[in-house]
Amino acid sequence: MKEIVYLNGQFLPRSEARISPDDRGFIFADGIYEVIKYYGGKPFRFGDHILRLKRSLGEIGLSFDAGGLKEIFEGLLAKNGLGNTQAGVYLQITRGAEKRVHYFPVGINPTVYAFAFDFPSSKEKLEKGVGVITHEDIRWHRCDIKSVSLLPNTMLYNKAVEVGAGECILIRNGFVTEATHSSVLGVKGGKLLAHPLTNLVLPGITRIVIKEICESSQVEFAERAFTKDELYAMDEIIIAGTGSEIMPATSADGNKIGDGKPGPLTKLIQDKFFELTR
């Protein structure tokens, strides 16, 4: 079956999708993106993703009407036979094509690209957990914008892949911010800790869900940055994201976390998360 993608108002085979080499997404990484997961054809937290999309667009001064995206995404799932499974939709909006100038050109049309893909859960990793590494956070100071400028993220995730680790946790000025494509939460003394929602982290949707689960389960959720040493001494570590879902990290830089197995709070949150999604 030919894969069908969406580009600028049209559904077409991926092999026929074309953009200009002068697209500012290509030249400057001048664009933003979102990834939404569909469980059996139903989007998870669609409204939150659209809100974050609008916020990212606003922060980079890109005007785009987000109405109609739901129909586009459903069209992609249907046309690619992904309506009854776990599927992801990737959406990217760039400022569009124009001769290369550093300011934002006016009057050009944004480039809108979306595709759907098979996005199964990593069952074994969710059950057993993964080892993670840490690295200095070498990204810019607007990590709250879901920008397509992901070179530092890919460089650092690649370091994790090279050593067989599940993620690379980022450290800025001694404090854990997040990971290359997921949020990081620590569990200490029955309480969850996460970096405050500042310019240094992406406001993760999965993290919002975890916070809600904590509230309804009488588990304290504190927004407080923690250090690398505190990370190593956590009872449990959760790597959270649309793709990672609720992933236990059982070691960090070779240091065993807790007893080296997914802990009880992680499992509780996983169970509640699965109830919401499955």
Ligand X SMILES: Cc1ncc(COP(=O)(O)O)c(C=O)c1O
Binding site for ligand X (CB under 6 A): 35, 178, 181-183, 202, 204-207, 240-242
178 near 186, Cβ under 8 Å?
no
Beta bridge partners of 4: 13
Which pair of tokens denotes residue 99? Answer: 């001769």
Q: How far apart are alpha carbons 181 and 178 in whole angstroms?
A: 8
> Rounded to the nearest whole angstrom, what is the least distance from the CB of residue 67 to ligand X in the complex?
21
Which pair of tokens denotes residue 150? Answer: 């992901």
Which pair of tokens denotes residue 12? Answer: 């077409």
> Residue 185 or residue 187: which is nearer to ligand X going by CB?
185
Helical axes 264-277 vs 205-216, angle rounded to 10°? 110
> Rounded to the nearest whole angstrom, what is the least distance from the CB of residue 179 to ligand X in the complex?
7
> Rounded to the nearest whole angstrom, what is the least distance from the CB of residue 205 to ligand X in the complex?
4
Q: How far apart are alpha carbons 77 and 46 in whole angstroms?
A: 15
> Rounded to the nearest whole angstrom, what is the least distance from the CB of residue 240 to ligand X in the complex?
6
Task: Give first-to-last CA distance, the chain, whole Å.
Answer: 27
Helix intervals (H) in 80-198: 123-128, 151-162
> Residue 111 or residue 147: which is nearer to ligand X going by CB?
147
Residue 203's closest CA among 213, 211, 192? Answer: 211
> Residue 2 or residue 54: which is nearer to ligand X going by CB?
54
132 near 179, Cβ under 8 Å?
yes
Which pair of tokens denotes residue 94? Answer: 């760039």
Active-site residue 146, yes or no? yes
Helix intervals (H) in 60-148: 69-79, 123-128
The residue from 146, 228, 267, 272 that is catalytic is 146
> Residue 80 or residue 147: which is nearer to ligand X going by CB?
147
Amino acid at 12: L
> Rounded to the nearest whole angstrom, what is the least distance from the CB of residue 209 to ligand X in the complex?
8
> Residue 56 or residue 242: which is nearer to ligand X going by CB?
242
Which residues form the catalytic set? 146
